[in-house]
Structure 1
Amino acid sequence: MHAPHSHDGHGDRHGSHSGHASDHHAHDHAHGSSLKLLGFALALTFVFMLVEFAGGLIAGSLALLADAGHMLTDAAALALAWAAILIAKRPADLRRTFGYQRLRVLATFINGCALMFITAWICIEAVQRFMQPVPVDGFTILWIGTIGLAVNLIVFAMLRRGDSHDINIAAATLHVLSDLLGSAAAIVAALVIMYTGWTPIDPLLSVFVCLLIVRSAWSLIRRSTHILMEGSPDDLDVAELRSTLEARVPDIHDVHHIHTWLVGPHDVLLTMHAAVSTTADHAQVLRQAKAVLAERYGITHATIQIEAEECADPDCADVSPAHATKG
């Protein structure tokens, strides 16, 4: 039988909401600043993308076309990040009780996939250029690449001023960084072609830039997928959390059925069962456990089921403190 004070999670939401008030205010301020930065960066990127695409066609440069392709995905990434942050500000409702935070994670996943796709496309085009070289106008590449480098430096610096912990901003910044490298590669290719006439440098540098991007793009995909799969935070040791609660809350003698997951990039949720002595004050145990979770782990949204007798769940017989579940 479960004790009368077992929590179903609804009662503690008010406490967690009040505990999150200052954090939400700080996040709203950061998101407002990020929206302005992303909006200006989007406009600047899109306009120059059109210029660079036209220049790549005129010059016959894969490096410029690859850079224009990067800038197209940059513009899409910035637009997606902007929209995701805007929609994520909507309050929770009866259909989406945790709000729209997952949209920001989904936008990051899409941006990471877009980077991988454009990288693969550029590599295929580079191989074709190696097999069938084409004339390249080094002077046109040089001046357009130089302007592109300046634009990308401005956008990159702007995004670096945004919320460094926002994975949307991180994804958009990675797109712009990849394009910045593409512009630098285009300039180097132009100089080599102008002074030596060696045109293979154009696709060669394009492939080099792609290789630099792949690792970071994969990191974004892996991180966002982990959140979408409701994985535990990477820096949270569930076994250590369990032993800490058992040590710091005197009336808790066993913690099991621990599940932790991420709703958004930083919003950690936790559910668990806590077995206590028959004489324990359940309300006090809840307060102490929640205080430990908030102070030590930053978890302010926890649902804790207090058990004064044996666990009533069918699978509790297979659960011991050494087998608490994660994620």
Structure 2
Amino acid sequence: MSNQPPQSSVCKTADQLQHPHDFGQGQKRKAEQRATLVTLLTLMTMLVEVAAGVITGSMALLADGIHMAGHAMALGLAALAYYLSRKHAHDRRLSLGSGKIADLAAYTSALILGLSTLWLIYESVDRIITPAELMPREAMIVAVIGLAVNLVSALLLAGKHEHGHSHGDHEHHHDSNLSAALVHVLADALTSVAAIVGLGAAMLWGWTWVDPAIALVASVIILRWSWGLLRQTTSVLLDREGPDEIRRAARKLLQKNGDTDIIDLHIWSVGQGSWTLVAAVVAHGSTTPEEYRASLRSLRNLHHPIIEVSYCRQCALARKAG
């Protein structure tokens, strides 16, 4: 008779070592609710501004409305990304979790922002060269409403940040998806300010050229924002090494027993506020991989660390000889 246990039995050790594979993406975030609300606000304001821009002939106001259309799409994409990250958090086909869905959405948002701004630059230059009739007073009313909505949206998105940086527990993470949504709203606010200033100049002095000129200046600023967001999200999508602070913290924890040399260490983002780690160490004592992993528990938002341990032969021989 075989001494093997029945296949239905579960090894207690293996059962105890089981761990979740959602990499911190399984819970609903407050940012998801804020992004959804701001998307609805932006859609309503966009419809009003586009209609008013066509009627009044304000290039800056029409540009603001068109920007809001793109931004509503980007904000909706941000809200959808949070939902998809939660829905697929436990999908084992995603080897390192679903967190980068949000980073991919942020990258797409940055592209949308950049492309829509290039269109605005073209239209602004064309309007400077070929002035068109402007109805500044009517356009001013809608521009002020648009700015008010943008400021409310920015406050909603900023809220109480779920991302942060705490020196005490070595927590360091950044929500690129929320940042992308906030950048879109701030870009809208900037173009709204540009419209208000341009329309004011047209009302007071008849300078209709100020409207597209200020829109052009605002476009350059927005392009810089979108470029910065593209660089940030690209680094996450390409698995760039984590920030120096969390790397130093991990090194300190792995070497705290005083008998460890780190020969390789990789830390990278696996989603919004989540990190993973792969390290290769040489142990001059008897520290086990489990003990190394346990030493990293104080690093919040670090998921599924993998430690490869090689034991120093000379130290092992010295212990035997002793």
Q: What TM-score, normalized to structure 1?
A: 0.79
Aligned positions of 1:149-298 closer than 5 A: 149-161=147-159, 163-165=161-163, 166-236=175-245, 238=247, 240=248, 244=252, 247-252=255-260, 254-277=261-284, 280-283=285-288, 286-287=290-291, 289-295=292-298
Tell me, yes or no, if the aligned pair for 2:273 and 2:301 is still in contact at 8 Å: no
- CA spacing shift, 1:191–1:87, aligned 2, 3 Å: same
CA distance in 2, matches of 1:218, 1:53: 26
CA distance in 2, matches of 1:155, 1:261: 31
CA distance in 2, matches of 1:15, 1:250: 29
CA distance in 1, matches of 2:159, 2:254: 42
SS in 2 for 1:134: coil
CA distance in 2, matches of 1:164, 1:201: 40
CA distance in 2, matches of 1:291, 1:105: 29
Tell me, yes or no, if the aligned pair for 2:97 and 2:270 is still in contact at 8 Å: no
- CA spacing shift, 1:221–1:307, aligned 2, 3 Å: same
- Is 1:88 paired with 2:85? yes
Give the gaps of 5 or more residues in structure 1.
1-10, 311-327
Residue 271 of structure 2 aligns to which amino acid in structure 1?
Answer: G
Greater RCO (CA < 8 Å, at least 6 residues apart): 1
CA distance in 2, matches of 1:71, 1:243: 46
Q: What TM-score, normalized to structure 2?
A: 0.80
Percent identity, aligned pairs only, is 30
Residue 205 of structure 1 aligns to which amino acid in structure 2?
Answer: I
- CA spacing shift, 1:169–1:246, aligned 2, 3 Å: closer
In the alignment, which residue of structure 1 is the partner of 2:70? 73
In the alignment, which residue of structure 2 is the partner of 1:313? none
Q: Point out the structure with the larger helix share.
A: 1
SS in 2 for 1:261: strand
Deviations 1:295-317 (A, max 9, x none): 3686343101111258xxxxxxx
CA positional deviation for 1:210? 1.4
Deviations 1:13-53 (A, max 9, x none): 947649x99x76xx835x1x323222222112111111111
Deviations 1:150-209 (A, max 9, x none): 221222221121645222111111111111121122111111101111111011110121
Query: Which of 42, 63, 80 is the aligned partner of 2:60?
Result: 63
CA positional deviation for 1:98? 2.8
Tell me, yes or no, if the aligned pair for 2:32 and 2:79 is still in contact at 8 Å: yes
- CA spacing shift, 1:108–1:274, aligned 2, 3 Å: same
Aligned positions of 1:99-114 closer than 5 A: 99-114=97-112
- CA spacing shift, 1:89–1:14, aligned 2, 3 Å: farther
Tell me, yes or no, if the aligned pair for 1:290 and 1:300 is still in contact at 8 Å: no
- CA spacing shift, 1:227–1:281, aligned 2, 3 Å: same
- CA spacing shift, 1:56–1:194, aligned 2, 3 Å: same
CA distance in 1, matches of 2:33, 2:294: 37
Tell me, yes or no, if the aligned pair for 1:275 and 1:309 is still in contact at 8 Å: yes
- CA spacing shift, 1:17–1:213, aligned 2, 3 Å: same
Tell me, yes or no, if the aligned pair for 1:34 and 1:162 is still in contact at 8 Å: no
- Structure 1 runs of 4+ aligned residues shifted over 4 Å read 11-18, 240-243
Give the gaps of 5 or more residues in structure 2.
1-13, 164-174, 314-322
CA positional deviation for 1:63? 0.1
CA distance in 2, matches of 1:95, 1:281: 36
